[in-house]
């Protein structure tokens, strides 16, 4: 089984319900089990500010699904939960982003792993550190070093 970290985000249609439903759906994927789930955090939007705050979390799964097969399943979960994305970097019902897939580095049309901007997103790094404090990124960077950038983060732990 491969270790995969997935970021969850929502700011529409009862975000905490969206995240709980997504975690349930992830646990039901073939040859997949949930290893860990971070707390839920409320965070101000990165991007246009005329949208609701987000609820974010990170989950760790073990899976036999290959990256593109996993991506397809994540897109299916987003769609079944009524994927609404009204504008670029705008409000959305649910985002499921693959952050890390073992130590894989992949830059393909459909999928970039590690997630291209994760190092700059406190709403990813803080929940990721909560469940994987010893993590070392494929480029050798220690998550414990990265998290120091966000010590004064503005997020509120809500669950």
**Contact set with ligand ROI (CB under 6 A):** 9, 43-47, 54, 56, 89, 95, 123
Report the residue number, 43 or 59, with the smaller CB distance to ligand ROI.
43
> Minimum Å distance from CB 7 to ligand ROI?
7
Element at 33 (helix H, strand E): strand 32-37
Question: CA-to-CA distance for 147 and 73, rounded, in angstroms?
Answer: 29
Question: What single DSSP character describes residue 34?
Answer: E
Closest distance to ligand ROI from the beta carbon of 46 (Å): 4
Catalytic-role residue among 83, 85, 87, 121: 83
Active site residue 31: no
CB-wise, 47 or 133, nearer to ligand ROI? 47
**What's the min distance (Å) between Cβ of 34 and ligand ROI?**
20
| 3-state DSSP assignment of residue 1 | coil
Residue 53 appears among annotated catalytic residues = no
Angle, CA 102 vertex, CA 31 and CA 147 arms, to 5°: 125
When the beta carbons of 46 and 143 are compared against ligand ROI, the nearer one is 46
Distance from C-alpha of 59 to C-alpha of 81, rounded to nearest angstrom: 18
CB atoms within 10 A of CB 131: 17
Q: Catalytic residue at 83?
A: yes
Residue closest to ligand ROI (Cβ): 9
Half-sphere exposure of 72 (CA within 13 A, CB side): 6
- Residue 85 annotated among the catalytic residues of the structure: no
Q: Which of 31, 85, 87, 95 is catalytic?
A: 95
**SS3 category, 124:** helix
The active-site residue out of 31, 50, 85, 92 is 92
Which residues are marked as active site?
A: 83, 92, 95, 97
């Amino acid at each position: 089984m491969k270790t995969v970290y997935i970021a969850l985000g929502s700011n529409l249609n009862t975000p905490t319900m969206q995240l709980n439903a997504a975690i349930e759906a992830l646990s039901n994927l073939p040859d997949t089990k949930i290893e860990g789930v971070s707390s839920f955090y409320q965070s101000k939007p990165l991007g246009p500010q005329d949208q609701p705050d987000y609820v974010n979390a990170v989950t760790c799964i073990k899976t036999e699904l290959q990256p593109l097969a996993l991506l397809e399943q994540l897109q299916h979960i987003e769609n079944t939960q009524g994927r609404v994305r009204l504008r670029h970097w705008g409000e959305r019902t649910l985002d499921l982003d693959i952050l890390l897939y073992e130590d894989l580095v992949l830059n393909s049309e459909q999928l970039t792993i590690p997630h291209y901007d994760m190092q700059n997103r406190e709403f990813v790094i803080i929940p990721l550190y909560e469940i994987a404090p010893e993590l070392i990124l494929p480029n050798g960077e220690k998550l414990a070093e990265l998290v120091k950038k966000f010590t004064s983060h503005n997020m509120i732990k809500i669950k």
